[in-house]
Amino acid sequence: MAIIAFFQMQTSSFLSISEHLIEKCLNMNSFLEEMNLATSGKQPDGMNDSEQFPVLP
């Protein structure tokens, strides 16, 4: 019985750690997407640079 209780305890702590890490990853991902948009000069709606600034021949 003690072994089962031990494993249940380990599993719940593992799940809470995993949840925390997933949250961190999602936050980092959205942060990186924002940085990428900011540095590339692209518009969030998918407009690229050539549409924004047409290249003259």
Write out the two tokens for 26: 């999602």
* pLDDT band per the 50, 70, 90 thresholds, residue 52: low
Q: How far apart are CA 24 and CA 18, in angstroms?
A: 10
Instruction: Check residue 27 and give its pLDDT.
Output: 92
Average pLDDT over residues 21-41: 88
Q: How far apart are CA 19 and CA 28, in angstroms?
A: 14
Write out the two tokens for 46: 């998918």
Q: pTM to 2 decimals? A: 0.45
CB atoms within 10 A of CB 42: 14
The dihedral through the CA atoms of 20, 24, 26, 27 has a sign that is: positive
* 36-51 pLDDT tens trace: 888 876 555 555 555 5
